[in-house]
């Protein structure tokens, strides 16, 4: 696993958007300090020509700053921008993926046969605010190789960014995805002006369904994962801020009369909300297995999103709150 | 356990403040509907003379409204205010305690020998907003007698108020107490303007320490309790709103230069914050057992409250984040 020439690990970051630049900066600060890593962090840049006529990669290497996606923040002189994917990864034995998820598959195909043997990769969940060095956390999910997981954690940890590892890849991934559906529900509650008590109740029911759904799909998923940063903390962050919550709030304020398509076009310049598409995908899984009644919140979010139910349905569970005791949930009494 | 005369359960509410009135209203609405309960809910009133010269209990029985502590909301004609404690409880076989916790001991002493055999009692955690019928939740902790717990849940459940039962009295109680300490921490983060990511991280670390502390004190405490309404949902509510959070925010905004005593006098008219005194009590337990290093957040809150550390310490854990894996927590990497 170690680099043959020097025994030191070499890191390449695949992606140079806002979060890719943040990650490169953090990693470069750590590799410069940690003796088991090469100082240099190579960052693959999807090349663009800036309004000045300069290439983005050249601008980064000259100014040590990504003036387009993370202006005003120095990345470190040991971050080297490289517009050639193959060249960016060829010496690396630790790859950090920070591209939008829809590009990962295409990039991986291009990487086939171009990588060092034994190379390791990690995928980052976007949305952190650590560029400004506010205290924050993250969770790394791994399968079996705890030593590798700890090496990754060491590479990312700073005094303001605590990283934990859990042996539960599926749990960590599903937390990252399903929280966006719960954030839509939280946004509906905000749009209905129902207050913090109701919102907290909906977030908790959401967390309960996230856990039950994950455990039904992957029996290896562990309860503890939902107590990690990727679980309860990311859920809280996403339900307090975040665009899923924000657009869902607008949807509920309009009584569901303006569609998500319309609101996304207006509020997100046409970008689509991950929560809305995830809610549809989850609904398909629930329908396929006949599980809708077990997951009233996840089901209801989708049915509200497509206009089948009014936004107020998000707080109407009394008739059909399910028994989730098979995954450790308690049973409300009726 | 059932009332000898009619086979129906009789409910008495001990307390008639804001939350006592809310509880009486909810209970009276349910007892009127549920055949296994007597319609009448007797509410013990700590008698006061109103500015009009009228007695509070008489005013309630005449207007069916607590004009002092829950004005504008009808309690139901089957709520009977009774200023005589002994008379209020003498026929009841289900007692609902909703007085401030410092009065419970004195009231219990007065009740010795005055109660029906087999009487059951429940203690309510204050702070719900259900008077206005917003969707909300609660958890009932019980020991062994699940049938009794379910009867209590039935008595409290409404379409807008979901009640669950868990066989973990200590866990439910400790959630209700320790969340106030975490809310102080969350208030510090707010006062330092650190944003939602940091606040969510602190809330999660707080939840982790609540769980670990509870399990160390009472090995019977169950992880699942922290996923219930009394755990994660009440924690979120308390950390978003609530006076513990609010006064702690003011404390941090003042850089710790104005004491909690001073801020409580100004912002709460001298009422004391539960989180501050609980933090001190917890700290005593931690010191006694030599556990401070295992619980940096709980310890730090107290040390900030007494002026030993600055408010910014609330986000400085990197040097001493503990290994809580003995209670199922993951270990951050350093």
Interface ipTM: 0.79
- E strand map for B191-295: none
CATH at residue B73? 3.40.50.720
Q: What is the mean pLDDT of residues A249-256?
A: 97
Nearest CB to B204: which of A165, A199, A233?
A: A233
Under the banding of pLDDT at 50, 70 and 90, the label for residue A186 is very high
| Mean pLDDT calculated for residue range A317-322 | 55
Encoding tokens for residue B124? Answer: 């309510």
**Do both B180 and B50 map to the same domain?**
no
What is the domain-level CATH number for residue B317? 1.10.1040.10
- Among B84, B115, B137, the domain-final residue is B137
Question: Could you give the C-alpha distances from B194 to A25, B189, B202, in angstroms and in order?
Answer: 20, 6, 11
Rounded to the nearest 5 percent, the helix, strand and coil shares of chain A are 50, 15, 35
Tell me the β-bridge partners of B12. B42, B95
Three-class SS state of B119: coil
Are residues B177 and B131 part of one domain?
no
Judgement on whether residues A211 and A260 belong to the same structural domain of the protein: yes
B146 located within any domain = no
Asked if B100 contacts B20 with a C-beta cutoff of 8 angstroms, the reply is: no
Do B230 and B118 share a structural domain? no
- Looking at the structure, do residues A127 and A182 belong to the same domain, yes or no? no
pLDDT at position B266 is 94
Cβ atoms within 10 Å, residue B307: 12
Question: What residues of B form the annotated binding site?
Answer: 15-20, 46, 103, 126, 243-244, 272, 274
Number of domains chain B contains: 2
Asked if residue B246 is part of any domain, the answer here is: yes
Is B149 inside any structural domain? no
Judge contact between A190 and A209, C-beta under 8 A: no
Residue B163: inside a domain: no
Task: Name which of B127, B129, B92 is nearest B111 in CA terms.
Answer: B92
Please answer yes or no on whether A233 and B203 come within 8 Å at the CB atom: yes
Is pLDDT of A117 > 70? yes
How many Å apart are CA A264 and CA B252, to the nearest integer? 38
Residue B71 pLDDT: 95
pLDDT in the model for residue A193: 95
Same-domain check for residues A101 and A29: yes
DSSP secondary structure code for residue B68 in this structure: T
Residue A66 touches partner B, C-beta closer than 8 Å: no
| For residue B179, pLDDT beyond 80 | yes
Average pLDDT over residues A130-143: 80
Closest C-alpha to B27, from B115, B136, B216, B155: B155
Q: A294 burial class (0-12, 13-18, 19+ CB within 10 angstroms)?
A: buried
Residue B179 designated active-site: yes
List pLDDT tens digits, range A255-310.
Answer: 999 999 999 999 998 788 999 999 999 999 999 999 999 999 999 999 999 999 99
Shortest distance between the Cα of B58 and any Cα of chain A, in A, equals 33
Buried b (16+ CB within 10 A) or exposed e, B60-86: bbeebbbebbbeeeebbebbbbbbebe
Yes or no: say if B276 and B305 are a contact pair by the CB < 8 Å rule. yes
| CB within 8 Å of A185: residues ≥ 6 apart | A202, A203, A206, A248, A297, A300, A301, A314
Give yes or no: residues A124 and A223 share one domain.
no
Residue A130 CA: distances (Å) to CA of A175, B26, B103: 20, 46, 47
β-strand A161-166 against A94-97: which pairing, if any? Answer: unpaired
| DSSP conformation class of A271 | P
3-state DSSP of A227-250: HCHHHHHHHHHHHHCCHHHHHHHH
Within an 8 Å CB–CB cutoff, is residue B199 touching chain A? Answer: yes
pLDDT number for residue A316: 86
In this structure, chain B runs to a length of 334
Evaluate if residue A191 carries a pLDDT over 80. Answer: yes
Q: Span A32-44, mean pLDDT?
A: 96
Tell which residue, A208, A153, A240, A137, has the closest CA to residue B202: A137
Residues A135, B198: C-beta atoms closer than 8 Å: yes
Rounded to whole angstroms, the Cα distance separating B141 from A31 reads: 50
What gap in Å lies between CA B138 and CA B230, rounded to an integer? Answer: 6
Q: Do B164 and A333 touch (CB under 8 A)?
A: yes
pLDDT of residue A271: 83
Overall average pLDDT of the A226-254 stretch: 95
* C-alpha span between B255 and B250 (Å, rounded): 9
Cβ B149 vs Cβ B122: under 8 Å? no
CB B222 within 8 A of CB B141: no
The residue ranking higher by pLDDT, B3 or A278, is A278
d(C-alpha B113, C-alpha B95), whole Å = 15
pLDDT of A209: 96
| Average of per-residue pLDDT values in chain A | 90
Average pLDDT over residues B33-46: 96
Residue ending a domain, choose from A113, A135, A157: A135
Structure-token pair, residue A188:
């509906």
The span from the CA of B259 to the CA of A255, in Å, is 46
Residues B37, B93, single domain; the answer is yes
Mutation test of the interface with chain A: which of B22, B189, B204, choosing the one with the most A Cβ atoms within 10 A? Answer: B204
Measured in degrees and rounded to the nearest 5, phi and psi for residue A164 equal -110, 160
Confidence (pLDDT) at A220: 95
Q: What is the CA radius of gyration of chain B?
A: 21
**pLDDT value of residue A208:** 94
d(CA A11, CA A96): 7
Q: Tell me, yes or no, if A255 comes closer than 8 A to chain B by beta carbon.
A: no
Q: pLDDT band for position B65 (50/70/90)?
A: very high
Distance between CA atoms of residues B84 and B93, nearest Å: 17
Residue A247's domain comprises: 170-327
Q: Are B131 and B73 in contact (CB under 8 A)?
A: yes
Structure tokens at B195: 């944003």
What's the whole-number mean pLDDT along residues B239-243? Answer: 92
Angle at B104 between CA B101 and CA B107, to 5 degrees: 155
DSSP assignment, residue B224?
G
Q: Which helix (H) or strand (E) holds B201?
A: helix B195-217
Q: Which of A201, A223, A232 sits opposite B136 (nearest CB)?
A: A201
**Residue B175 included in any domain:** yes
Q: Which residue has the tokens 């409404």?
A: B158
Residue B218 lies in a domain: yes
B222: its two tokens: 């169950």
Residue B1 has pLDDT above 70, yes or no: no
Least confident of A98-102, A230-234, B124-128, B282-286: B124-128
> Which residue among A135, A157, A180 closes a domain?
A135
* Across B72-78, average pLDDT: 96
**Confidence (pLDDT) at A161:** 85
CB pairs under 8 A between A and B: 179
Q: pLDDT at position A325, please? A: 58
Question: Would you tell me which residues 141-180 of chain B have a C-beta closer than 8 angstroms to some C-beta of chain A?
Answer: 150, 153-154, 157-160, 162-166
Rounded distance, CA B190 to CA B240, Å? 10
- Strands B136-141, B79-82: parallel, antiparallel or unpaired by DSSP? unpaired
Do B301 and B234 lie in one domain? The reply is: yes
Q: Are B139 and B222 contacting, i.e. CB atoms less than 8 angstroms apart? A: no
B127 or B44, greater pLDDT: B44
The four Cα atoms B245, B250, B251, B255 give a dihedral, to 10 degrees, of 130
Binary contact (A240, B200; C-beta < 8 A): yes
Q: Note whether A318 contacts B150, CB cutoff 8 Å.
A: no
With respect to residue A147, please indicate whether it lies within any of the assigned structural domains: no
Please tell me whether residues B319 and B174 are part of one structural domain.
yes
β-strand partners of A79? A41
CB contact under 8 Å between B153 and A129, yes or no, is no
Mean pLDDT of A29-43: 96
Interchain contact A43–B (C-beta under 8 A): no
For A219, list phi and psi in degrees, rounded to 5.
-60, -15
* A104 — pLDDT class (breaks 50, 70, 90): confident
- Determine the pLDDT at residue B72: 94
Judge whether A183 lies within some domain: yes
Cα B184 to Cα B305: distance, rounded to the nearest angstrom: 9
B189/B141 Cα distance (integer angstroms): 31
Q: Would you say A104 and A57 are in contact if contact means Cβ atoms under 8 Å apart? A: no
Are B227 and B315 within one domain? yes
A interface test, pick of B228, B233, B243 with most A CB neighbours within 10 Å:
B233
Residue B226 corresponds to which tokens in the numbers above?
Answer: 């922290």
Task: Please give the average per-residue pLDDT across A184-193, as a whole number.
Answer: 97
A127 and A174 share a domain?
Answer: no
pLDDT at B325 over 70: no
* Residue A7, pLDDT score: 83
């Amino acid at each position: 696993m170690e680099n043959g020439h020097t025994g030191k690990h070499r890191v390449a970051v695949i992606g140079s958007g806002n979060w890719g630049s943040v990650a490169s900066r953090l990693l470069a600060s750590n590799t410069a300090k940690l003796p088991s890593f090469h100082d240099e962090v190579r960052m693959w840049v999807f090349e663009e020509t800036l309004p000045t006529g300069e290439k983005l990669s050249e601008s980064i290497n000259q100014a040590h700053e990504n003036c387009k996606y993370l202006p005003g923040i120095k990345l470190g002189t040991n971050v080297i921008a490289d517009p050639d994917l193959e060249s960016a990864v060829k010496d690396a034995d630790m790859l950090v993926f920070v591209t939008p998820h829809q590009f990962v598959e295409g990039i991986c195909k291009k990487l086939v046969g171009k990588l060092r043997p034994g190379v390791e990769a990690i995928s980052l969940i976007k949305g952190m605010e650590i560029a400004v060095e506010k205290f924050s956390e993250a969770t790394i999910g791994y399968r079996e190789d705890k030593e590798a997981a700890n090496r990754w954690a060491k590479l990312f940890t700073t005094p303001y960014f605590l990283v934990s590892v859990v042996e539960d890849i599926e749990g960590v991934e599903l937390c990252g995805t399903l929280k966006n559906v719960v954030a839509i529900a939280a946004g509906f509650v905000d749009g209905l002006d129902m207050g913090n008590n109701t919102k907290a109740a909906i977030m908790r029911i959401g967390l309960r369904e996230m856990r039950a759904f994950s455990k039904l799909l992957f029996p290896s998923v562990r309860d503890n994962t939902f107590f990690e940063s990727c679980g309860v903390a990311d859920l809280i962050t996403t339900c307090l801020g975040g665009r899923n919550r924000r657009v869902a709030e607008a949807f509920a304020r309009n009584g569901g009369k303006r569609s998500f398509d319309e609101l996304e076009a207006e509020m997100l310049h046409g970008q689509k909300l991950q929560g809305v598409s995830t809610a549809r995908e989850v609904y398909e899984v629930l329908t396929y297995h006949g599980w809708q009644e077990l997951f009233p919140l996840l089901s209801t979010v989708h049915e509200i999103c497509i206009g089948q139910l009014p936004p107020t349905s998000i707080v109407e569970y009394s008739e059909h709150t399910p028994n989730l005791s098979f995954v450790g949930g308690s049973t409300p009494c009726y």
